[in-house]
């Protein structure tokens, strides 16, 4: 699609019908639409256009609230105590307030991705022009922007086409956030519906950001064999000057990498990244390295490895500057959203800024020109590395032993630790000369530093843990596959049928941040378990890093052990946070490419298809952020269940089905219009799981869908039973809810199933053509 502004002015024109004078015509947009697919019912849906669909889901999956705070402090009537049914001064109760917080979180997340997308698109248009063609996979990807097509009805072809898409997103996010104002929305389910809306818009914003950068910056284009990237502090050559980029926006890093290459310094320096910038750096430049997930910022800065720290946006520690100053590493803030209080030096000569940073005259600067960021960062790193000599801010072992003796054993460190790590005992042992308990904390520590903030004698407890675990830290050297971006259309064609029929037992998307309850190994174990069972495992973001951070008995990382294709037993990393849109995109493309459903502005039908037929589950084992909330919310609206690890309970609201209420599980059979009870498939839309063992059992169960063929259901049930027996030590008690005919029963388990089915008074039912939408019922033949 192309569109442009048209303005015609005629001072005087003689025509056969008369004289025209001073005619002025202005057309906001001239649309050249060569996409022949008919427009569906909800192009660019408004805040309420999909409300009925949301309510269908929310009726099945009702909110279970766990308020994280009893109060509302958002207006000057407050603080209002909302405990146990009390209403606040505005009339809101705790259910609505809890959903309101969910809406606010999802709106922040959507705004963050969309703001990121806006910055990337504006920058790339300035650099490459509006007519630059979008290309996310050459001939292998014809449906280049499935989420955008589905939601907006626009088929973008050029960078310029993305502007209109972003305008839609920006408008909707503004509406979503405005609904959270005091005295606007008051009903909890309407807040939830708006949170779904924010999540849907978020998926569009993410997709825009990623397809723009893939197309222009030559990232891997839907490539199952995207390069394997070195990862971990141990993979960094610290004898070279090191530039560390933290955040999510690749644009400043591109400036750094380009300048480094132009100056022929690319083999003389290291560019490393933390969090999603790391991924996008490696998609641009395969010699860039990934240090680790978001939680390792303090490790790397205090360890003194970085000679220059470049901060862009999102998930950047707001005290990164203070930490970097302690190791004399200059900081460059490179995003309007994260200025860090620095003076704006964008218009100053580069060499002048370099001199100020190297001399220590200023510890940090704000530079909003990515090319200048590149020049300054490279020059500063080169000049300051020999001066800094990788100065670190870690105590020596002897200092730890000595300082530990000042500990009062007050327990405040443990009581402030999100992980409840038994720090006091480790400090006590250190005081007695034994550092082993501190070393044991290294893997589980999420690097937040709250222990240090709580310590009344100001012990640098996190630094103690880093030092005690230093050997592990320096040995961390693994491989992660560079983010491949989209899933190819041909891959969808190959797996569409076995997924929808249930013969590939499911798609597991392991995404999100690294607020893990017991370190990243759980992510690796879960991914490996399901890849070995021939599920399709998709990773992204910090979880993709954790998935690659461990090795099997043959010394292979997950990305070496399994293929990078979207296929049974594949483990594919789509990329950074914004690449999560490709996971939604793959689900949407199954409906479009395999099932031939129209996408254009046809959200409800496609979501209904995905919800009832596609055995996909998201797992955000360490989700912490508002962006993770909005990513999850986008999947909720598509009807895809999302699991979070135990810290995810702090999102304070789950969306849970009730398997003990059969009346909740009716669908229409589109062939006949009859209502058919299909059981709790899937049982939940948003659930916290407590342990990795529980996660594995629940994942297998949540992949069950009403549309499964008997063969597919049998395969899914055999995985569910197998994992249940292994981790729960017994047969599941709810099998009668998932068996429709005896053909669904796995052959090898027939006797065990039969006993349960008889005990539960099971009755055979039919396999419907499932839908929640009455309009999808086909007329019965006479």
Partner 1 sequence: MSCEPWQCAEIAATKKANPIQKPEIAVAMIKKASRPILIVGSNATERWMEGKQLIEYLIDFAKASKVPVVATAHMVGEFLKRGYEPAGFMSAMDIGNRLVDPEWQGLDGKGHPDLVLLIGLPYYMEALILSGLKHFAPDLKTMTLDNLYHPHASWSFPNATLEEWAANLKVITSKFEGGQ
Question: Which residue ranges make up the site for partner 1 (CB under 8 A)?
Answer: 64-71, 81-85, 94-95, 412, 415-416, 418, 420, 454, 517, 646-647, 649-650, 652, 654, 656, 658, 660, 684, 687-691, 693-694, 697-698, 727-730
Closest approach of partner 1 to the CB of residue 649, in Å:
5
Closest approach of partner 1 to the CB of residue 444, in Å:
12
- Identify the helix (H) or strand (E) that includes residue 26: strand 18-32
Closest approach of partner 1 to the CB of residue 455, in Å:
12
Closest approach of partner 1 to the CB of residue 687, in Å:
5
Q: Give the residue among 120, 286, 293, 143 at the shortest CA–CA distance from 214.
A: 120
Q: What whole-number distance in Å separates Cα of residue 114 and Cα of residue 128?
A: 20
Cβ proximity to partner 1: between 357 and 629 the closer is 629
Closest approach of partner 1 to the CB of residue 412, in Å:
7
Q: Which tokens go with 31?
A: 């649309």
What is the SS3 assignment for 128?
helix
Closest approach of partner 1 to the CB of residue 411, in Å:
8
Closest approach of partner 1 to the CB of residue 56, in Å:
19
Cβ proximity to partner 1: between 65 and 472 the closer is 65
Cβ proximity to partner 1: between 228 and 735 the closer is 735
Helix ranges (H only) for 296-369 are 297-302, 320-326, 350-359
Q: What whole-number distance in Å separates Cα of residue 445 and Cα of residue 292?
A: 14
Cβ proximity to partner 1: between 265 and 422 the closer is 422
Q: Which tokens go with 733?
A: 């008690």
Cβ proximity to partner 1: between 95 and 536 the closer is 95
Cβ proximity to partner 1: between 217 and 654 the closer is 654
Q: What whole-number distance in Å separates Cα of residue 267 and Cα of residue 306?
A: 17
SS3 of the chain: helix, strand, coil, percent, to 5: 45, 15, 40
Q: What whole-number distance in Å separates Cα of residue 27 and Cα of residue 9?
A: 11
Cβ proximity to partner 1: between 142 and 518 the closer is 518
Cβ proximity to partner 1: between 33 and 420 the closer is 420
By the 10 Å C-beta count (0-12 exposed, 13-18 middle, 19+ buried), 775 is classed as exposed
Residues 260 and 242: beta-carbon distance below 8 Å: no
Closest approach of partner 1 to the CB of residue 646, in Å:
5
Helix ranges (H only) for 153-289 are 161-178, 188-217, 251-262, 276-284
Kindly tell me the sign of the dihedral angle through the C-alpha atoms of 588, 590, 593, 598: negative
Cβ proximity to partner 1: between 674 and 691 the closer is 691
Closest approach of partner 1 to the CB of residue 359, in Å:
42
Q: What whole-number distance in Å separates Cα of residue 306 and Cα of residue 243?
A: 6
Q: Give the residue among 526, 529, 495 at the shortest CA–CA distance from 511.
A: 526
Closest approach of partner 1 to the CB of residue 83, in Å:
5
Q: What number of CA atoms fall less than 13 Å from residue 439's CA on the CB side? A: 11
Cβ proximity to partner 1: between 97 and 714 the closer is 97
Q: What whole-number distance in Å separates Cα of residue 94 and Cα of residue 100?
A: 9
Between vectors from CA 394 to CA 393 and to CA 395, what angle results, nearest 5°? Answer: 125
């Amino acid at each position: 699609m192309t569109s442009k502004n048209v303005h015609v002015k005629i001072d005087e024109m003689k025509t056969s019908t008369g004289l025209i004078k001073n005619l002025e015509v202005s057309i906001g947009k001239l649309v050249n639409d060569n996409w022949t697919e008919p427009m569906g019912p909800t192009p660019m849906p408004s805040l309420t256009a999909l409300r009925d669909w949301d309510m269908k889901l929310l009726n099945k999956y009702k909110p279970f609230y766990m308020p994280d705070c009893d109060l509302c402090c958002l207006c000057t009537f407050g603080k209002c105590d909302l405990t146990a049914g009390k209403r606040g001064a505005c009339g809101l109760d705790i259910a609505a307030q809890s959903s309101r917080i969910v809406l606010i979180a999802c709106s922040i997340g959507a705004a963050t991705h969309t703001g990121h997308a806006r910055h990337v698109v504006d920058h790339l248009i300035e650099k490459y022009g509006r007519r630059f063609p979008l290309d996310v996979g050459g001939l292998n990807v014809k449906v280049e922007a499935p989420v955008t097509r589905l939601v907006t009805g626009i088929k973008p072809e050029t960078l310029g086409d993305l502007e209109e898409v972003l305008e839609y997103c920006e408008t909707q996010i503004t509406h979503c956030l405005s609904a959270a104002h005091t005295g606007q929305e008051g009903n909890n389910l309407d807040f939830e519906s708006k949170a779904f809306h924010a999540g849907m818009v978020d998926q569009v914003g993410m997709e825009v950001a990623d397809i723009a950068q893939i197309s222009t910056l030559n990232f891997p284009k839907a490539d199952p064999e995207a390069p394997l990237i070195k990862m971990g502090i141990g993979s960094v050559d610290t004898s070279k000057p090191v530039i560390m980029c933290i955040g999510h926006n690749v644009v400043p890093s591109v400036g750094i990498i380009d300048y480094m290459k132009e100056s022929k310094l690319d083999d003389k320096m290291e560019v490393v990244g933390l969090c999603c910038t790391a991924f996008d750096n490696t998609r641009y430049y395969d010699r860039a390295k990934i240090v680790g997930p978001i939680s390792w910022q303090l490790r790397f800065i205090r360890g003194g490895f970085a000679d220059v720290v470049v901060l862009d946006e999102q998930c950047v520690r707001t005290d990164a500057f203070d930490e970097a100053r302690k190791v004399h590493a200059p900081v460059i803030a490179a995003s309007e959203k994260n200025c860090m209080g620095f003076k704006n030096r964008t218009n100053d000569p580069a060499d002048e800024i370099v001199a100020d940073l190297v001399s220590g005259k200023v510890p940090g600067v704000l530079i909003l020109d990515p090319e200048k960021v590149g020049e300054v960062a490279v020059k500063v790193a080169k000049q300051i590395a020999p001066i800094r000599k990788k100065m670190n801010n870690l105590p020596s072992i002897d200092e730890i032993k000595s300082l530990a003796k000042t500990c009062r054993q007050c327990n405040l460190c443990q009581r402030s630790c999100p992980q409840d790590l038994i720090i006091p005992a480790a400090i006590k042992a250190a005081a007695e000369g034994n550092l082993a308990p501190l070393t044991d904390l290294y893997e589980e520590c999420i690097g937040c530093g709250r222990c240090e903030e709580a310590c009344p004698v100001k012990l640098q407890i996190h630094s103690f843990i880093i030092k005690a675990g230093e050997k592990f830290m320096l040995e961390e050297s693994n491989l992660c596959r560079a983010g491949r971006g989209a899933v190819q259309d041909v891959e969808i064609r190959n797996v569409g049928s076995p997924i929808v029929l249930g013969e590939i037992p499911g798609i597991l998307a392991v995404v999100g941040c690294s607020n893990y309850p017991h370190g990243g190994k759980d992510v690796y174990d879960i991914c490996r378990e399901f890849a070995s069972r021939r599920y399709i495992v998709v990773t992204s973001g910090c979880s993709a890093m954790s998935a690659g951070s461990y090795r099997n008995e043959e010394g292979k990382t997950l990305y070496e052990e399994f293929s990078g294709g979207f296929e049974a037993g594949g483990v594919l990393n789509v990329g950074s946070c914004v690449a999560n849109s490709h996971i939604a995109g793959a689900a949407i493309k199954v409906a479009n490419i395999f099932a031939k459903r129209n996408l254009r502005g046809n959200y409800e039908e496609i979501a209904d298809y995905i919800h009832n037929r596609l055995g996909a589950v998201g797992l955000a084992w360490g989700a912490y952020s508002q962006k993770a909330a909005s990513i999850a919310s986008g999947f909720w609206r598509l009807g895809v269940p999302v699991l979070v690890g135990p810290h995810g309970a702090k999102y304070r609201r789950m969306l849970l089905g009730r398997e003990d209420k059969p009346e909740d599980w009716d669908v229409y059979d589109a062939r006949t219009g009859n209502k058919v009870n299909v059981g709790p498939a899937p049982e939940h839309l948003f659930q916290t799981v407590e342990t990795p063992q529980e996660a594995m059992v629940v994942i297998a169960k949540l992949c069950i869908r009403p549309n499964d063929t008997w063969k597919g259901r049998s395969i899914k049930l055999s995985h569910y039973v197998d994992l249940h027996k292994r981790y729960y030590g017994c047969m599941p008690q709810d099998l009668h809810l998932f068996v429709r005919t005896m053909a669904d029963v796995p052959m090898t388990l027939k006797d065990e199933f039969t006993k349960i089915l008889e005990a539960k008074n099971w009755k055979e039912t039919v396999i419907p053509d499932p839908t929640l939408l009455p309009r999808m019922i086909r007329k019965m033949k006479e």
